[in-house]
Structure 1
Amino acid sequence: MFFVAAKLFWLVAAPLNLAVLLGLGAVAGILCRCPRLARRLAAAALAVLLLAAATPLGPYAAAVLERRFVPAPALPAAIAGILVLGGGIDTERSLGWGRPILGAEAERLTALIDLGRRYPEAPVIYAGGFGGLGTVARTEAAFARDFLLAAGFDLTRVAFDGRSRNTRENAVEARMLAGDSAGRPWVLVTGALHMPRAVAVFRHEGWQVIPWPVAPVTPGPDAMPWTPLDTAATLGQSTRALREWIGLAAYRAAGYTATLLPK
């Protein structure tokens, strides 16, 4: 229920979707001869777009999350394993083309390969089911297997979780694969923006994780997060930042984490 509710809520709450819905409401207001309502809805749609695409609020909100675990901690000499959360592969396009198509956060997979070489004896868990509503013929984990096989990675080291649909399910399903070793240090690989929520969830589920953030959406820890007049980039950063902050609040309210923003 939580998963479905979250997906349906985000369909409306995503800034561009919300602006379009408000704009459609304004058009309906005009057709229904309700000019005052139409003006208010049109103004609200414009305000949402301007706030998300033309102000620094979203980029700075993203920077707060991405800089939470920067610089990344020093890696120890030995670890229990490497845990990579799905998001490196575009599942829908992969299904359409019948082969692995890397997504915006492909660095999750390159980090897996790099860390796998650093720790040649460490087991790997790739947690990547289908994060959309409904079901698919092949999940991201299946395409990740194909990609790693083509890259020459030793698949005998990798356990693939194709069941989990969100971050909490990632932690629960991977815990069943890791067993008691979850209490020892695992390197956790996910997007820099998503890392605070991932760390909070995995710690709450009893994991000992070393955060290894990848694929940041902001320019850098010492750079100004916002590029004025680059409305497309700003809208993208704002959308992703809003989704993560809502996710942090929702997971805390649902009892999936012990803190809103982990250290």
Structure 2
Amino acid sequence: MKSYLISLIIPLNLCVFLVVSGAVLVVLKRRRTGIFLCFSGLSWVFIWSLPVTSIVLGGLLENRYPHRSLDSIPTAQAIVVLGGNTANNRESWFEELSENPSTHSRVDTASELYHAQKAPKIIVSGGALAGEVSEAKGMAEKLMAKGVPKSAIMLENNSKTTYENAEFTANELIRNEIKSIILVTSALHTPRSMAVFDRLDLEVTPAPNPPQIIIPDNPDFILFLPNARALHGSRSIIKEYLGLIIYWLRGWV
């Protein structure tokens, strides 16, 4: 249900749906309603193509739990890393795609926390979204490549949603008598993740990745000029707001 709603509300998808519906109504002599739907669809795309929309609405989520320096993060019994790669882990939301973009992944943050001795264990959480290899296993391999010993890594291979991330990870934490965790995910995803994990009997410290929705250092960048990167990235912002609404309705947050 959630995936269907996200697909429908994606600006380009919703625009096409509304414009086509509006055109049909115009043909059926319901001109006012048809024109209104066409205008609404085009307006929805235009609004989400503006960088200022991402800066304002995405920034509200990213700044709910501000990024913190390693020194300011307290120690815990484990680091929990949630699967995902918002905006392909690019350091800037508006950075154009290239062969070697600047990136900072959740695994990078978890590795930095581990090597700073903030926790002796890392739990990676995420099932297989496609194929047979889970996100957790992929993150574990990357952590080991960054010098984290295999003995320090625990895997939760079955979750497909943020809610399941929390539920299934909690089972691992209970089995290992872990009560305090540092939660690592993207800045955009942190509000929903914290809302879910806060319902558990745990001491949770957020350690989000650095914010990605920032105004680039580019004199040609204009907040009120339609931007392809802003339109493309709007899916992630919409997904988080829709996810918060659905989770609230279901009593998960």
Please classify the TM superposition score into its range, dividing by the shorter chain length. 0.7 to 0.9
Q: Deviations over 1:210-241 (max 9, x none)?
A: 11111423217xxxxx8231522332454322
Tell me how far 1:146 sits from its aligned partner.
3.0
Q: 1:166 aligns with which of 145, 158, 161?
A: 161
Structure 1 residue runs without a partner (length 5+): 92-101, 221-225, 258-263
Partner secondary structure for residue 138 of structure 1: coil
Give distance in 2, aligned partners of 1:66 and 1:118. Answer: 24
Does 1:6 pair with 2:14? Answer: no
Which consecutive aligned stretches of 4+ in structure 1 deviate over 4 angstroms post-superposition? 26-30, 32-35, 102-106
**Counterparts of 2:243 and 2:66, CA distance in 1:** 21
8 Å Cα contact 1:87-1:103 kept in structure 2: no
Q: Give TM-score, length-normalised by structure 2.
A: 0.79
- Report what 1:126 is aligned to: 124
Q: Give the stretch that moved more between structures: 33-42 or 56-65.
A: 33-42
Given the alignment of the two structures, is residue 110 of structure 1 paired with residue 105 of structure 2, yes or no? no
Question: 1:19-34, aligned counterparts within 5 Å?
Answer: 19-26=15-22, 28=24, 34=29
Q: Percent identity?
A: 25
CA distance in 2 between partners of 1:244 and 1:89 (Å): 11
Q: CA offset at residue 60 of structure 1? A: 0.5
- Once residues 175 and 104 of structure 1 are traced to their aligned partners in structure 2, the CA distance between those partners, rounded to angstroms, is 33
- Greater shift after overlay, 247-256 or 81-90? 81-90
**Mind listing any 5+ residue stretches in structure 2 that lack a counterpart?**
89-99, 216-221
RMSD: 3.0
Q: TM-score, normalised by structure 1?
A: 0.76
SS in structure 2 at match of 1:187: strand
Q: Helix, strand or coil: the match of 1:214?
A: coil
CA shift, 1:10, in A, is: 1.0
- Partners of 2:170 and 2:28 in 1: how far apart? 58
Distance 1:109 1:13 in 2: 30
Distance 1:103 1:157 in 2: 30
Show the counterpart of 1:80.
77
Distance 2:11 2:68 in 1: 31
The count of residues paired between Structure 1 and Structure 2 equals 232
Correspondence for 1:213: 208
1:215 and 1:6 map into 2 onto residues whose CA distance is: 27
Query: How far apart, CA to CA, are the structure 1 residues paired with 2:184 and 2:25?
Result: 48
- Relative distance call for 1:198 and 1:103 in structure 2 (3 A) is farther
Aligned to 1:203: 198
Could you say what secondary structure the match of 1:50 adopts? helix
Instruction: Quote how far apart the aligned CAs of 1:48 are.
Output: 0.8
Displacement of 1:123: 0.8
Structure 2 Cα separation of the partners of residues 161 and 183 of structure 1: 17
Aligned to 1:68: 64
